[in-house]
Structure 1
Amino acid sequence: MDTSLWHTNPTAAYADWQAREAAGADRRPFSARSIVQHRAMFEHFRRHLLERGATLASFGPEHIAALWHTRAGARHGVATRMRYLKLLDRLCRHLVAIGVRQTNPAAPLVREAHWPEGEPEPIFLPEAADACLQAWVHPAPADDLSQLRSRAIVALFLGTGITVAEGCAAMVGDLHPEAAPPYLRVPAHGARDTRTVHLAPFAVPILAAWQQRRATLPIAGDLIFSMQTTGQAMTVKTLGVIVRAALEAIDFSAADMSPRILRNTFCRRQLLAGHARDDVSAMLGLASPRTCDRIAATIADDAPLQEGIRL
């Protein structure tokens, strides 16, 4: 068996192995979306090793442990770390089998690790607070440029349910508040396919107003929201500060004041409106209905859920 590709081009070797042989614990092939996710995770770990002068043939448990102390790894929750360990365990077992490695440093880490027993309760805006924030995003005659932009940013998250990364990357050409119905096109990225999300009615006036105002500004690039002087994407931190300020403006406080709470609120609003969980998952760009299941569980039994929503 020719194993040279694992030494000369690990990325290509991993893709080839995954396409031909890799499978889950039940020996079933991985889905196309899982394959994309696994390749991204492998590439992230490969670069991690490269920065530390290690290779797939030489890395040890200390290199895996160091992954959690990187800037990106420090943000990984228990479930994400477990997914990395499972991936590295599968990989190392294969590398041992074909003679590229002598040991599997991931094996003892997998045995000691555990999937989280429960997931945290999702945080969302109650219906009254959701209504208040919807009113807050409406454009006002006295708005200056900063205030208009802040309202539009909050409206985009609250009215489409996109992720903060998708908000950072959203382009002017993808936003169509004048269409019938108004919509946002979210390009494919990572494991997520391109999708179209209809804008909530409350978000249309402010997004149309921002789009018109933006067209008059000397902003470089085509991002919907960017740093005016450079045209670079706004940072996650800046967007978080804007969302927090909007929530504080309506006297709402929670443990999570990030754009995530607006995404969860969008999801819950769709479920309350009678949309089936698979459809809502598609709106959110999710392959699994697990997020919708968790948020649907927060809806009281006597809430006005329609057919197809109850789990």
Structure 2
Amino acid sequence: MDTWLTNPSQAYADWQRHEAAGSDRRPFAQQSIAQHRAMFDLFHRHLVGHGATLASFGPDHVDAFWLAEQATTYTPSTRMRYLKLLDRLCRHLVDIGVRESNPAAGLVLLGRWPTEDPDALFLPEDADLRLQAFVRPQGGDSSETLQKRAILALFLGTGLTAREARAVRIHDMHPGASPPYLHVPARPPRSSRTVHLEPFAIVPMAAWLAARHDWPAGGDLLFTLTRAGTPITDMSFGNIVREACAAVGENAENKSPRILRNTYCRRLLLRGVAPEAVSDRLGLASNRTVTRIAATIDAAEVDE
């Protein structure tokens, strides 16, 4: 029972391998198990980012999940697969005493889907400029501070998702190239892509790379939670963005990496970059997100 709270990913994997079954009571195929584990891990990271656990989350956390960046393009069938997964999981957690109720049961029966797209949140142009100035390294910056500035520069200067940022390796970042770029490896459903760094992001990236090489951490992740190499979390990313917004006097409604990604998207559109090209830079399979953000731009705002 304790493993579900101390190591949920391992507990879920063990349950899938030894006990879980579909509606026909037959064990899942290996391909389905791999897919279910990936879905579970994504949902659990969402819970961690919202301060919830498998024992405490409720229907509101499920509703919030549909509004998260990675879930905004899910089809109704994909959402229903998630709900069925959560329903199976919660019934098991109730059976073994980890939970007292199943918050997914009613959602499955009702098919309760959000009827509107999430707001296209972004920073005003003046706040964008203040944050661009904020990421510049300062004399006396500790390596921890340099990493925070680089993280902000990455989101604001490349438009990466939090999931992609967690996976960036040292050898993926090339601030000294001409032009400077980041290689983003393929990670289904997104294909690999090359993203050129915005000019303001080059110096903080180079400064952090130099500091990172002296950081006695194992592995080759660009960003780590500790000097020992612990992978960074979405919660840490959110805290860094919130602290930076407060430091530049911006009281944004949603202080998360997504607002920086949307700000990057809107900046490119204001610059006159074609929506299809912006979608490519963001690694999007459709123009839906870019179209929503483009709709926030008045014709007079676009650069001549």
| TM-score, shorter chain, exceeding 0.5 | yes
Aligned-residue offset at 1:40 = 3.4
The within-5 A match list for 1:275-290 is: 275-290=273-288
Q: Deviation digits for residues 157-193 of structure 1, max 9, x if unmatched? A: 1100000111111100000000011111111112111
8 Å contact kept, 1:11–1:43: no
Distance in 1 (CA, whole Å) between partners of 2:233 and 2:37 is: 26
Counterpart in 2 of 1:40?
A: 35
Give the 3-state SS of the residue equivalent to 1:197 in structure 2.
strand
1:43–1:254: structure 2 CA closer, same or farther, 3 Å change rule?
Answer: closer
Letter in 1 for 2:78: Y
User: Is residue 268 from structure 1 mapped to residue 271 from structure 2 by the alignment?
Assistant: no
Q: Distance in 2 between matches of 1:42 and 1:235?
A: 18
User: Using a 3 Å threshold, how does the CA distance of structure 1 residues 169 and 111 change in structure 2: closer, same or farther?
Assistant: same
TM-score of the two chains, using structure 1 as the length reference: 0.68
- Structure-1 residue corresponding to 2:247: 249
Give me the whole-angstrom Cα distance separating, in 1, the residues matched to 2:220 and 2:107.
45
The 1:40/1:273 distance shift into structure 2, 3 A limit, reads farther
CA deviations on 1:14-38 (whole Å, 9 max, x unpaired) are 79xxxxxxxxxxxxxxxxxxxxxxx
CA distance in 2, matches of 1:174, 1:183: 9
1:184 and 2:182 aligned? yes
Letter in 2 for 1:125: L
Which of the numbers 145, 148, 154 marks the counterpart of 2:152?
154
Task: Report matched runs for 1:48-67 at 5 Å.
Answer: none
> Within 2, Cα distance between the matches of 1:247 and 1:114?
34
Q: Distance between the aligned counterparts of 1:88 and 1:44, measured in 2?
A: 7
Q: Which residue of 2 aligns with 1:202?
A: 200
Identity %: 42
Between the aligned partners of 2:165 and 2:198, the Cα distance in structure 1 is 16
Deviations 1:62-94 (A, max 9, x none): xxxx9x8599857522775933355589xxxxx
Q: 1:10 maps to what in 2? A: 29
- In the alignment, is the contact (CA less than 8 A) between 1:187 and 1:195 conserved in 2? yes
AA aligned to 1:82 is: P
Counterpart position of 1:82: 76
Matched residue count: 246
SS at match of 1:76: helix
- Structure 1 residues without counterparts, runs of 5 or longer: 16-38, 49-65, 90-107, 307-311
Aligned to 2:296: 298
* In structure 1, distance between residues paired with 2:35 and 2:60: 16
Structure 2 residue ranges without an equivalent (≥5): 1-23, 44-54, 84-105
- Aligned positions of 1:126-145 closer than 5 A: 126-145=124-143
Partner Cα distance (1:156, 1:41) in 2: 30
Contact 2:155 2:161 in 1 (8 A): yes
